[in-house]
Amino acid sequence: QIIEWGSLGQLAEALQASGARKRVFVVTDSAVGALYAGAIHALLEQGGLEPHIFTVPAGEGSKSLRCFELVLGWLVEQHAERTDPVIAFGGGVVGDLTGFVAASYRRGVPLVQVPTTLLAQVDSAIGGKTGINHPLGKNLIGAFYQPGLIFVDPVTLLTLPERAYREGWAEIVKYGVIMDAELFTMLEERLPELERRGADLLTQVVARCIRLKMDVVQGDERDGGLRNILNYGHTFGHALEATTEYGTWLHGEAVSIGMEVAGYIAVAHGLLSQAELARQRKLSQAIGLPIACPGVDGEAILVAMQHDKKVQDGRTRWILPTRIGHSQMYSDIPVELVREAIAVV
């Protein structure tokens, strides 16, 4: 993978080094395309490639069977060949959709991820999970399909709207809490730089998170065990997103509230100290992430949590921190305690 501030100018070269010959097929969304499509087209052409660009509407709605069909139809019409790379240029929506298209078209063509949101750079573009939503549920259709190249230029984060930028930090706080105390301290100490989207901090943090996720995924590519720790804050977060029909909270915001719920459970269960939970809470708040969701229907969330992929034999398995930088999976958390945590948060 390539992670470098200002590296977009070398995209054509990197594509050629990873096997691209002439034609490359770029998928982006309307918002990212409006900002970058012209420049990307020009620099790929200057680099000796023949770029073709397809734009889907911005937003989660594009992770649909309809869009999947449209992108595939475009590749068929363009006579894209089996060795022509398909490039996902955008956030997690474009990455998931395009990844699944690349996994399916001609039973698999080379995939390149060029993530442009913080969430996609530190999380969704890494690990090979691709897919789309079914009208009855999120991410129900998809495939594990690894990109041949992950190309990250954190400069693209400078155009990200404020809320989308902050949301991405939730996953970074998550990495800190579950497995990297040093990263957590670095965030605490360098908040002003984080606010101003400093090149040095962003590049360092993105590279570090990518390495963390790759290490975890390498040990557990298909989500059987170790990879579960990446779901810290997600058990509650996914349920909150589902019960509010994905309209109220962005994913990272729901995860941030979910980390607060999990932190409360960890403290009440005697696993984590109040002081450590307070550090997590303080950092999330300082970043501008929500840590409470008053007025939500706790019982509906409990029901939604039963659909979580970590439920096994009817028991929800919780990823809980034991200290900043360390976490474990627990399946003996009484539902009464979960109910209490949701009520408090």
Residues that bind ligand NAD (CB under 6 A): 29, 31-32, 35, 58-60, 63, 90-94, 96, 116-117, 119-120, 123-124, 127, 129, 139, 156, 159-160, 164, 251
Residues 209 and 265 sit within 8 Å (Cβ to Cβ): no
Q: Which is nearer to ligand NAD, 164 or 286 (CB)?
A: 164
> Nearest approach, Cβ of 290 to ligand NAD (angstroms)?
16
Q: Which residue bears the tokens 């090149």?
A: 199
> Nearest approach, Cβ of 286 to ligand NAD (angstroms)?
21
What is the rounded CA–CA span in Å between residue 256 and residue 111? Answer: 31
Q: Which is nearer to ligand NAD, 178 or 272 (CB)?
A: 178
Work out the number of other CB atoms within 10 angstroms of the CB of residue 279: 19
> Nearest approach, Cβ of 269 to ligand NAD (angstroms)?
27
> Nearest approach, Cβ of 115 to ligand NAD (angstroms)?
7
Q: Which residue bears the tokens 């607060």?
A: 260
Q: Which is nearer to ligand NAD, 98 or 327 (CB)?
A: 98
Q: Which is nearer to ligand NAD, 127 or 258 (CB)?
A: 127
> Nearest approach, Cβ of 67 to ligand NAD (angstroms)?
12
Q: Which is nearer to ligand NAD, 90 or 263 (CB)?
A: 90
The 3 state secondary structure assigned to the chain is: CEECCCHHHHHHHHHHHCCCCCEEEEEEEHHHHHHHHHHHHHHHHHCCCEEEEEEECCCHHHCCHHHHHHHHHHHHHCCCCCCCCEEEEECHHHHHHHHHHHHHHHHCCCEEEEECCHHHHHHHCCCCEEEEEECCEEEEEEEECCCCEEEECHHHHHHCCHHHHHHHHHHHHHHHHHHCHHHHHHHHHCHHHHHCCCHHHHHHHHHHHHHHHHHHHHHCCCCCCHHHHHHCCHHHHHHHHHHCCCCCCCHHHHHHHHHHHHHHHHHHCCCCCHHHHHHHHHHHHHHCCCCCCCCCCHHHHHHHHCCCCCCECCECCEEEEEECCEEEEECCCCHHHHHHHHHHC
Q: Which is nearer to ligand NAD, 164 or 337 (CB)?
A: 164
> Nearest approach, Cβ of 142 to ligand NAD (angstroms)?
8
Q: Which is nearer to ligand NAD, 63 or 310 (CB)?
A: 63
> Nearest approach, Cβ of 159 to ligand NAD (angstroms)?
4
> Nearest approach, Cβ of 10 to ligand NAD (angstroms)?
18
Q: Which is nearer to ligand NAD, 290 or 341 (CB)?
A: 290
